Amino acid sequence: MNNIQDYDPSGIAQINGNLLGLPDTYDSANLIIFPVPWEVTVSYRTGTGNGPQRILDGSYQIDLFDLDNPDGWKQGIFLMEISQDILDKNHYYRQQAAKIIQRQAEGKDLKADPDLTIILAEINQAGRDLNKWLFDQCQQTISQGKKVGVIGGDHSSPLGYLQALGSQYSDFGILHIDAHADLRPAYEGFEFSHGSIMFNALEIPQISKLVQVGLRDICIDEVEIIKSSNNRIVAYYDPIIKQQQYAGKTWNDLCEEIVANLPHHVYISFDVDGLDPKLCPHTGTPVPGGLELEQAYGLFRKVVKTGRKIIGFDVCEVGDGEWDGNVGARIVYKLANLLHLTYTDCG
């Protein structure tokens, strides 16, 4: 039962399994957040599979007043239980994927003894199963008039959610914060690699625009994909952003330019390695450079102020560290409040 009317937002957060200790339930909440503790294909270091738990733990330390949406805590936010079944499968398939990654790093054929192509096929099927599970969960929740957010895991986590949104919206764009373009087809042979999420997302025809911000670790083929996309993909490289700022261009002006590329409906995909690594030191693939947190928030505010609607979001690649969870929880709460603003008159 929802006791939000009697809830003291300035009191001590209750460790109740819900984000921020809020008293909401699935039935009472307007925003449902699905944790997806999956990092099977990470190619540098592990830990993001524990990101949902770290975010939940960190959220109990966050005060609820939000400058953008002071009443945002009242909207009804509910975090679904972290699935032990997904955690167990993640652990198993991650161990198997590591064998494939190691074999490739050694320059050896996957068909050598033992034949790892069978394991690769199993991992790809596990990815399909995960996407189908998330698709079904999100579609059911959206059909009830609720909004959805996703907490990864690695950045492959939200694909099923994006597919569900494609069944609900005829046209939407992705505002993508990341150090990486994630446009590699089946990176390392993994059809649903963390490095392939945006390549896979663009297979959804309803996604008319992908605007990427903070890129600074990108391969030659990905640059060519961006150049040949007929402006479906717009990239804002971190070094160029900084050069423009050094020359006197304001971040506000840059935000206006970035957001102008987006359609009316906007999905925000936030890989925390798009930030300066001091904010996400245990993320899977950290890269020097990146955005400050308030820069990212300023960009999201511009989405709201221009009258666009945030239709959903994911926060991925949060590492297995207390500080990472603290920062990740703040991002989730901010995005929840900004999403809420676009559907109410409270702003």
- For residue 12, is it within any domain? no
Is residue 6 over pLDDT 90?
no
pLDDT in tens, 225-260: 999 999 999 999 999 999 999 999 999 999 999 999
Domain that holds residue 160: 28-345
Average pLDDT of the residues of the chain:
96
CATH number at residue 311: 3.40.800.10
Q: Is the pLDDT of residue 344 over 90?
A: no
Residue 178 annotated as binding site = yes
Q: CA–CA separation, 325 vs 58, rounded Å?
A: 5
Percent of the chain with pLDDT over 70: 98
Whole-number pLDDT of residue 1: 43
- Of 142, 100, 134, 87, the closest CA to residue 320 belongs to 87
Could you give the C-alpha distances from 285 to 169, 319, 325, in angstroms and in order? 32, 10, 16
Residue corresponding to tokens 């997302």: 201
Q: According to the annotation, is 271 in a ligand binding site?
A: yes
Structure tokens at 156: 């492959």
Residue 213 lies in a domain: yes
Answer yes or no: is pLDDT of 44 > 90.
Answer: no
Task: Please indicate if the annotation marks 155 as binding a ligand.
Answer: yes
- Residue 180, annotated ligand binder? yes
pTM of the complete model: 0.97
* Residue carrying structure tokens 């494939």: 100
pLDDT in tens, 117-154: 999 999 999 999 999 999 999 999 999 999 999 999 99
Domain count, the chain: 1
pLDDT in the model for residue 345: 54
**Pairwise CA distance, residues 273 & 287, whole Å:** 7
Instruction: Identify whether the C-beta of residue 279 lies closer than 8 Å to the C-beta of residue 331.
Output: no
56 lies in some domain: yes
The answer to whether the beta carbons of residues 80 and 20 sit under 8 Å apart is no
